[in-house]
Amino acid sequence: MPFSPTFAWRDSRSARRRLLLFVASMALGVAALVSIRSFAESLETAVTEQAQTLTGSDLTIWARRSFGKKDKALVDSVAQAYPGEQARELAFASMAFFPETGNARLTEIRALEGRFPYYGEIVTTPDSAATTYQQRGEALVDASLLLQFDVEPGDSVRVGERTYRIAGGIDEIAGQTGVGSFVGPRVYVPFAALDTTLIGFGSRVEYRQHFLFADADPDAVLAEIGDRLAVQSLRGETAAGAQQDWNDALGNLNRFLSLVGFIALLLGGIGVASAITVYVRQKADTIATLRCLGATAGQTLRAYVLQAAALGLVGAVLGAVLGVAVQTLLPRVLGPFLPVSVNFAVSWRAVAEGVGLGLAVALVFALLPLVRVRRIPPLRAIRPGAEAEDRFDPLRWAIVVLIALGVAAFAWTQTGDWRAAVGFPLGVGAVLGLLALAAWGAMAAVRRFFPESWPYTWRQGLANLYRPGNQTLVLMLTLGLGTFLITTLYLVQTSLLDQVAITSEGERPGLILFDIQPDQREGVTALLDAEGEPAIAQIPVVTMSLAAINGLGTDSLRQDSTVNLPDWALRREYRSTYRDALVGSEQLAAGTFIGSVPADTALVPVSLESGIAGDLGVGVGDRLTWNVQGVPIESVVASLRDVDWTRVQPNFFAVFPTGPLDAAPQFDIVLTRAVDAETSARLQRSLVEAFPNVSVVDVRLVLGLIEGVLGRVAFVLQFMALFSILTGLVVLAGAVLISKLQRIEESVLLRTLGASRPQVGQILFAEYLLLGLLAATVGVALALVGGWALSTFAFDVPFVPSWGAVLVALLVVPALTVGIGLMGSRGVLRRPPLEVLRAAG
Amino acid sequence: MSLALSARHLTKTFESGSRRLTVLDDVSFDLDDGATCAVVGPSGSGKTTLLGLSAGLDRPSSGSVVLCGEALEDLDEDARARTRGRSVGFIFQQFRLIPTLTALENVMVPLELRGERAHDAAERLLDRVGLGDRTSHYPAQLSGGEQQRVALARAFINRPRILFADEPTGNLDAETSSRVEDLLFDLNAEAGTALVVVTHDLDLARRTERILRLRGGKLVSDEAAHPAALPSGNGHVIRAEEPKSRGDGAS
């Protein structure tokens, strides 16, 4: 049996408990990685297996407008060429009124003709309702809505001027997320029994034609008709396309979570490096003796690398087990966001990846302090304290480069962006460099401006920062980097969440009334006045599309491969308004806002939202041609506005001056306050009775829904950050333990020389407090820079520093440093000096 | 008879800021196979430095060492370690047992480092030092004297040509010391090992054949421990060379 493994095994017997930190660091990092990857894989499998339920058909052709003659001809030609089944669907938002209870609410109406979905099913209570409602001219209503209004199957629902008997409640629709649209719960009615006045001008209706082919390949069909669809501004979707879209979206989620997992693993690596640094120090005498007895540098290094590898493996396997356990929780948390049901399955690939990556990280980070083993001089056996010469060690630098390359490779596989691949390790390296600089600076400053007048114990603690064998640099690097990574993650997270948070400042409407036709204006106003809830704003909306930018037609721009403008921005329907001033949620960013021009102005000065202007690649002075219901309107960008989209009120990409659009086909949006839920319900009831086509958004209800969704998103982010924080705590403990070892001997000597327990305690307290404060301050300061850089450049959201989190980090890190430091020294403080000396010898 | 150790003009200096500190100044001596000698002198006289250089634990600033036929200056750190593993035994003042290994495992280490089976030989040696019943005890469970006896067994297991002992009884009481000394010299005689003992203890020094005295880093005397007992022109003790003039060596 070779020496190294035998010795590694024997030597580890008494040390295993001491290396608990090592195992814990690795286990937490790997757990985060395995749970995330395993979940991602289960999700991908689920999406692949259930891909067809995403569309429910082989092919769906759809548009956000009614199908014209040409469109119908296209649909017919597809149906003729590829036999099978067809179904027709209309989807739009409208009020649903329940006469039995008198409740009304905005819902998503689906008018369906034909047996659809072909894949997956609509699960209803009673079961039969899904198959019979069309023939019987009945409606299906979301079960949650039935519950909310205490309505049962057999009662009725009115949509527009039509009243339907409720056939059953919808429990689940395959391929659709549980969260559904913000607009509201779904109501299915038969196509033939639809009140068609609801889908008149201004309503946002989606027309869908579903196909089930007997034997044609849906993607081949889509490829064949692709050009015609594009020309007619129709869209086609197959299961494969839907799957791709979902995988793209999930890819972003996976990438973010992977980043979180990798940071946890990186922190674990730092924990490993701290634990091994302590370990090597403890083993220095043993190693020197071995060298005296004839062990080569390689033999000793191998023995300790084997120990590290074995412990790394234990940590990684424990982490994998923990990760699999955590993974079972993720589908429960994320379930409502997902279009498919994810079954819990252990992904052996993720487990193998996690264990492999964990082992590699453990080894590489352990090697960093372990290579020092080679340099421990045998002379130490006869001359205690003899240290290795501080020479350049190429192997150590090779390991540093290896770590940097590993981090770069990970960043590259996750983002596919070489800038991230270079930037990530460079950023971490820069942080380490700055932390080291801060440590050196602090040591020099303390020595230079030493406060001679301070009490003895504080002077001792302060002097410990720069004395020989001080731990300032090591603690600054580990504590500081740990603080930096966790605080950065938290700051980015709050910035991301802030982006979607709802601003409650200012006056917020309780109800938003959409689709008020010009001839209904007076009636609606009168009704609101009569109910004692006058309109607080009346906003005209003109729908239009973009015809040309600076004279170049949007169709040709879309086909020009040299023009890199987003398709959606060129194709979308713009709902614009006209008014003479900016509103509270807007700020002028460039140019001059022009509020009013004569109706016959040839070149209308328009104000664009800054974001859409960026997407369209235009600025002040550029020309846009709009198609307003077939009438071209020439405009010039007169100003850009920054819009706070988090304010709950109608905001617009394009705002026109009053005048030119006054006579254009339009509808109104009216805002009213509706002070409480009861008033809101009463108003909705009256409105739906008098104006069935007017949609009412209950802001309170929507906000509740959004807040619920955001709560879950925040929970997922915080849950994953928890791993990093736990690992960070382990790292902190490891870092403090490094210094503890150094201080025990001194403390015992001081005790022997007559220092009281409180005095020794105070010295340690002073040193740990100063180190903790220094590391936390520098770490947090760097995190503010890092958080700003990541938010601004990587996530493209405004950086919103969470000062609460900053304060918590500034308090918690020093407190934990002092706590762990003093707890670790407890034995020294409590036991008689001689006992400690004996045990140390 | 060949030389177990030959030290020539050994000098060790340390830079301390702008000052140069010479801790060993041009020391030369030879030691035959099987011969014993003691290195004595006050604290700071360079005894431990001489031991470290002789055993190849450190490199001299100038001068050379031939240990068991190998010129140490030609060897890198690992080759010197292999030479030690093959031909050298050590006894330390602080015992230096590996705390995580049992007594038996500690004794086995030198042979195991060479990839050899060691169990039976280690048991025999532990028996020989009177610890046959303590083989599975850890160092912390042994007294100082017992630990040093384990260290003795470890020092002899690879049948070294030369044994270096650094204050072997420095941490032991008088009674225990004498038992350990007896064992050291008995084992040494049985194995025919050359022995270099660094000590403050003149009684211990006198049990060797020859005493080298150091003062201020210089070898000030090299004489037989029992002049009367030694035949003139003896074959065991090679007199130390006269130190060279101050000018070379130390600069």
- pLDDT by residue (tens digit) across A459-491? 888 888 887 767 788 778 878 888 888 788 788
Residues in chain A with CB shorter than 8 Å from the CB of B85 are: 293-295
Cβ–Cβ below 8 Å for B78 and A297: yes
User: Per DSSP, what are the bridge partners of residue B203?
Assistant: none
CB-CB contact of B63 with B249 (8 Å): yes
Question: What's the CA dihedral at A161, A166, A168, A173 to 10 degrees?
Answer: 0
How far is residue A230 CA from its own chain's centroid? Answer: 33
Across the interface, of B85, B92, B166, the residue whose CB is closest to A294 is B85
A286, A296, A382, A835: best to mutate for the B interface, most B CBs within 10 A: A382
Confidence of residue A739 (pLDDT cuts 50, 70, 90): low
pLDDT at A500 over 60: no
Average pLDDT, integer, range B134-155 = 93
- Give residue for tokens 């630098």: A397
Report the mean per-residue pLDDT for chain A: 82
Q: What are the angstrom distances between the C-alpha of B94 and each of A380, A417, A837, B184?
A: 11, 58, 14, 16
Cβ–Cβ below 8 Å for A383 and B109: no
Cβ–Cβ below 8 Å for B94 and A6: no
Give the 3-state secondary structure of A686-718: HHHHHCCCCEEEEHHHHHHHHHHHHHHHHHHHH
In the prediction, which pLDDT does B187 show? Answer: 92
A584-633 pLDDT per residue, tens: 888 899 999 999 999 888 899 999 999 889 888 899 999 999 999 888 99
CB-CB contact of A111 with A191 (8 Å): yes
Whether A384 has its CB under 8 Å from any CB of chain B: the answer is yes
Q: Of A125 and A55, which is predicted with more confidence?
A: A125
Whether B143 has its CB under 8 Å from any CB of chain A: the answer is no
In the prediction, which pLDDT does A231 show? Answer: 81
Q: Establish, for the pair of chains A and B, how many residue pairs have beta carbons separated by less than 8 Å.
A: 89
Average pLDDT, integer, range A302-326 = 90
Judged by DSSP in three states, B50 sits in helix
- Nearest residue in chain B measured CA to CA from A389: B58
A100-154 pLDDT per residue, tens: 888 888 888 899 998 888 888 888 888 888 888 988 999 999 887 888 888 999 9
B77, B106, B141: best to mutate for the A interface, most A CBs within 10 A: B77
Average pLDDT, integer, range B163-192 = 91
CB-CB contact of B9 with B249 (8 Å): yes
- Nearest residue in chain A measured CA to CA from B166: A382
The pTM of the full predicted model, rounded to 2 decimals, is 0.69
Cβ–Cβ below 8 Å for B96 and A292: yes
pLDDT at A356 over 80: yes
Across the interface, of A286, A293, A383, the residue whose CB is closest to B113 is A293
Across the interface, of B48, B96, B115, the residue whose CB is closest to A289 is B96
CB-CB contact of A261 with A724 (8 Å): no
Whether A294 has its CB under 8 Å from any CB of chain B: the answer is yes
Give B73's DSSP letter. Answer: G
Cβ–Cβ below 8 Å for A286 and B99: yes
B151 Cα to chain A: minimum distance (Å): 11
Residues in chain A with CB shorter than 8 Å from the CB of B101 are: 10-11
B54 Cα to chain A: minimum distance (Å): 11
Q: Of A344 and B100, which is predicted with more confidence?
A: B100
Cβ–Cβ below 8 Å for B113 and A383: no
- E strand or H helix at B152: helix B144-156
pLDDT at B244 over 60: no
Whether B55 has its CB under 8 Å from any CB of chain A: the answer is yes
Within A449-585, residue ranges assigned H as helices are 456-463, 472-500, 521-530, 554-559, 567-571
Across the interface, of A6, A14, A378, the residue whose CB is closest to B112 is A6
Residues in chain B with CB shorter than 8 Å from the CB of A384 are: 94
By percentage, how much of chain A surpasses pLDDT 70? Answer: 85
Within A82-203, residue ranges assigned H as helices are 129-136, 143-149
Residues in chain A with CB shorter than 8 Å from the CB of B141 are: none
Q: Collect contacts of A454-460 with beta carbons under 8 A, ≥24 apart.
A: A456/A759, A457/A759, A457/A762, A457/A763, A457/A766, A458/A762, A458/A766, A460/A763, A460/A766, A460/A767
Cβ–Cβ below 8 Å for A10 and B100: yes
Question: Of the ranges A700-714, B162-176, B213-227, which one carries the lowest mean pLDDT score?
Answer: A700-714
Across the interface, of B82, B92, B97, the residue whose CB is closest to A296 is B82
Cβ–Cβ below 8 Å for B82 and A294: yes
Q: What are the angstrom distances between the C-alpha of B191 and each of A24, A368, A482, B163?
A: 50, 43, 58, 11
Whether B179 has its CB under 8 Å from any CB of chain A: the answer is no
Average pLDDT, integer, range A7-23 = 78
